[in-house]
């Protein structure tokens, strides 16, 4: 805890005692076979989930985390490094380490992988085409590893780049994670969809897993994208994952690749 400094100097005839700073310690538990840094990582994630550190806010310094968890600097650094590599934390030179928030910039460069064929990327215009109240969807349940009778809200968005419709997103959201999601909330949002998940439902997307396929446009997709039936489209199947790799969203994207292409940069690993 920081104490204020009295710059007027000591009062004559009095001795002053300085208050020592203290940190509430929450030592990590040691589980057989689990590296200590993984326990520190879990504690950091829990602190965010419980609202102690909000998205966009700075977390305590690594030395403070060492005091808090009763571990070495190397252990804390390894936990923070891993969370930073996953995109959960963001290091800023000279400012500290922050809990990642789903800004437009982060969405554009971390989750939106469609670019013009000359490499140009821009934030898309998003138009809500359909919103369906939760219904049983066995296919979505299989993709997200849920019970066949699980209910999902369905969202269809059309995304345009440079004024041209380029892709359709068909999104399935588990009702148990997104209760009381309404069409009004979707239309009124002023940030990315992932930011809405985070702010309204405390669901944070950490990373995504994607598969790519080629399909032919049916009548519905052809009409929305302004192409002919049978024209080739890129089909991107995305599962969005939260803490502990919990699946939270299924997204089918259908991309007109006449002038645009899929472009993703792999971070870390070989």
Q: What SS3 class is residue 36?
A: helix
| CA neighbor of 54 nearest in space, from 264, 204, 239, 266 | 204
**Domain locations in the chain as residue ranges:** 36-99, 104-262
Whether the CB-CB separation of 159 and 167 falls below 8 Å is answered with: yes
Determine the pLDDT at residue 107: 54
Distance CA 74, CA 35 (A): 12
Does 36-99 match 104-262 in CATH topology? no
- Tell the CATH topology of 36-99: Arc Repressor Mutant, subunit A (1.10.10)
Q: What is the pLDDT of residues 111-167, one digit of tens each?
A: 888 999 998 889 899 999 999 999 999 999 999 999 999 999 999 999 999 999 999
pTM of the shown model: 0.72
| CA neighbor of 144 nearest in space, from 182, 175, 180, 190 | 175
Residue 47 has pLDDT above 70, yes or no: yes
End-to-end CA distance of the chain: 42
Tokens representing 52 are 């102690």
Determine the pLDDT at residue 105: 60
Distance CA 43, CA 28 (A): 8
242-to-1, 88, 140, 236 alpha-carbon distances in Å:
32, 10, 17, 19
Cβ count near 178 (within 10 Å) = 19
CATH of the structural domain 104-262, one choice from 3.30.365.10, 3.90.650.10, 3.40.50.720, 3.40.1410.10: 3.40.1410.10
Whether the CB-CB separation of 218 and 168 falls below 8 Å is answered with: no
Q: What is the pLDDT of residues 80-107, one digit of tens each?
A: 999 888 778 889 888 999 987 765 565 5
């Amino acid at each position: 805890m920081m104490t204020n400094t009295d710059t007027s100097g000591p009062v004559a005839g009095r001795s002053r005692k300085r208050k020592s700073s203290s940190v509430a310690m929450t030592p990590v538990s040691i589980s057989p076979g689990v590296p200590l840094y993984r326990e520190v990582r879990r504690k950091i994630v829990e602190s965010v989930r419980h609202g102690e550190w909000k998205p966009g806010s700075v977390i305590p310094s690594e030395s403070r985390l060492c005091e808090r968890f009763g571990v070495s600097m190397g252990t804390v650094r390894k936990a923070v490094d891993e969370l930073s590599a996953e995109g959960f934390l963001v290091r800023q030179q000279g400012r500290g380490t922050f809990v990642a928030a789903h800004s437009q910039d982060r969405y554009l460069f971390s989750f939106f992988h469609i670019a013009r064929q000359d490499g140009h990327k821009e934030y898309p215009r998003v138009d809500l085409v359909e919103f369906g109240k939760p219904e049983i969807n066995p296919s979505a349940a299989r993709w997200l590893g849920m019970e066949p009778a699980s209910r999902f809200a369905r969202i269809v968005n059309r995304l345009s780049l440079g004024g041209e419709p380029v892709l359709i997103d068909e999104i399935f959201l588990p009702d148990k994670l997104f209760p009381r999601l309404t069409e009004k909330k979707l239309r009124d949002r002023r940030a990315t969809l992932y930011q809405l998940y985070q702010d309204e439902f405390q669901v944070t997307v950490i990373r995504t897993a994607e598969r790519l396929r080629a399909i032919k446009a049916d009548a519905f997709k052809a009409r929305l994208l302004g192409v002919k039936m049978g024209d080739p489209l890129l089909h991107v199947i995305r599962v969005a994952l939260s803490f502990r790799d919990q699946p939270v969203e299924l997204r089918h994207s259908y991309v007109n690749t006449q002038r645009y292409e899929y472009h993703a940069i792999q971070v870390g690993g070989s």
